[in-house]
Amino acid sequence: MSSIWNNRISISIFGESHGPAIGVTIDDLPPGEYINAEEIARFMARRFPRNDGTDGRRENIVPHIMSGIYNDRTTGTPLCAFLRNTDPEPPKADNTDRLVRPGHADYTGAVRYKGFNDVRDSGHFSEKLTAPLCFAGAVAAQILERRGIYTGAHIASIHNIKDNPFDHVRLCRDHILSVRMKDFPVINDRKGWLMAEDIRKAGAAGESLGGIIECAAVNVPAGIGSPIFNGLENNIAQLIFGIPYVSGIEFGAGFGAAKMVGSQNNDPFYVDEHGHVLTKTNNHGGILGGISSGMPVTLKVAFKPSPAVAGTQEAVDLYSMKDTEYKGAKCDPCAVPRSVPCVEAAVNIALLSHMLDYPNFV
């Protein structure tokens, strides 16, 4: 399986949903970086925010660092984190070893791996594999924040309810941290309450909802990234699409730019009072030609509704090769709130990989 991302630093994620453990190996990190284990735990705990409207289970996956850190500092050798599964046995009612369920990767996985893939609760396709991704992103975040680079995200929308957007021009570290501290990561708390209530209603009806996460990184210096296939957007997008349920991504004005004329979409440059070259607007989302401009890096990520809904749906039995029905044993009303740190993690990893080329970073 292609579960290794390699671009200056490498991230290798391993394990299955109901195997004995999952984990990640991070290679080529700079040596001597102080890593706070409590900060990593706090970052990972955000995968299951309180008051998110789901009333679901809370995974208690504690990372055990096997190598790569000694006396709280990176050694420069591969950093391996081992996350033991607390529920290695799959739900008895799933019976997914023979069914092709709508919206899942059952069929595509069976074809790609000739029927030998672990199908227990989606196996390697499981959302549980975002835990090691978040571990890697939390490590990257600490290294970046020591250099003043902060990444943060909020729920831009759930279903038809929209939060206030980030200010793409004047966004700063304090704005990012203020949202990160919240149990339900939105800028407008009233909109957050409405979102949580909408999620609860969907769950009660056995349905699921999608949404959009807006993410931004501030204090990213100009000049990181490269054309054509190693652009900053390219690497961010590649990591973002490793998160389950992601169905689209846009940077800056994104698809909205298609409705503008060129003079509207162009961001005028100017020199500020400190002698820095900036832009008055930020439709380009902080990236031009695959290279950072010095403005906040901004992006939005669309998430489709979880395929785990209650009720009976059409399916296929791979053993008999006949049409059948699948009755969902559980409902996952919305994956968006717990995906917020996953988006941050992906952006952190991509930023760190490019920052290693920046003069005097290491």
- Residue-wise pLDDT for 118-170, tens only, equals 666 665 667 788 999 999 999 999 999 999 999 999 999 999 999 999 999 99
- Round to whole Å and give the CA distance between 335 and 338: 6
Rounded to two decimals, the pTM is: 0.93
How large is the average pLDDT for residues 317-325?
Answer: 85
pLDDT band at 88 (very low <50, low <70, confident <90, very high): low
CATH classification for the domain delimited by 4-355, as one of 3.30.1300.10, 3.30.70.1170, 3.40.50.11440, 3.60.150.10: 3.60.150.10
Best CA proximity match to 78, nearest among 164, 9, 128: 9
Average pLDDT over the chain reads 90
Structure tokens at 14: 């391993």
- Round to whole Å and give the CA distance between 128 and 133: 10
How large is the average pLDDT for residues 280-291?
Answer: 98
- Round to whole Å and give the CA distance between 81 and 14: 10
Best CA proximity match to 30, nearest among 74, 66, 64: 74
pLDDT band at 319 (very low <50, low <70, confident <90, very high): confident
Among 114-118, 132-136, 172-176, 181-185, which is the least confidently predicted range?
114-118
CB 208 within 8 A of CB 305: yes
Using CB atoms within 10 Å of the CB of residue 145, give its burial: 0 to 12 exposed, 13 to 18 middle, 19+ buried.
Answer: middle
**Which residues, at least 6 apart from 3, have a Cβ–Cβ distance to it below 8 Å?**
12, 13, 14, 124
Residue 280 CB neighbours (<10 A)? 10
Best CA proximity match to 179, nearest among 139, 213, 141, 145: 213
Inform me whether the pLDDT recorded for 314 exceeds 80: yes
Best CA proximity match to 16, nearest among 158, 161, 118: 118
Place of tokens 């906040």: 296
CB 46 within 8 A of CB 341: yes
- Round to whole Å and give the CA distance between 176 and 172: 7
- Round to whole Å and give the CA distance between 182 and 73: 29
What tens digit of pLDDT does each residue of 157-170 get?
A: 999 999 999 999 99
Q: What is the model's pLDDT at position 140?
A: 98
CB 288 within 8 A of CB 253: no
Q: What is the model's pLDDT at position 96?
A: 59
pLDDT band at 112 (very low <50, low <70, confident <90, very high): confident
The upper half-sphere exposure of residue 201, i.e. CA atoms within 13 Å in the direction of its Cβ, equals 8
- Among 21-25, 110-114, 261-265, name the most confident range: 261-265
How large is the average pLDDT for residues 263-285?
Answer: 97
How large is the average pLDDT for residues 334-361?
Answer: 96
Among 52-61, 196-205, 263-272, 300-309, which is the least confidently predicted range?
52-61
Inform me whether the pLDDT recorded for 58 exceeds 70: no
pLDDT band at 60 (very low <50, low <70, confident <90, very high): low
How large is the average pLDDT for residues 322-331?
Answer: 82
What tens digit of pLDDT does each residue of 238-250 get?
A: 999 999 999 999 9
Inform me whether the pLDDT recorded for 220 exceeds 90: yes
Q: What percent of the chain is modeled with pLDDT above 70?
A: 91
CB 306 within 8 A of CB 243: no
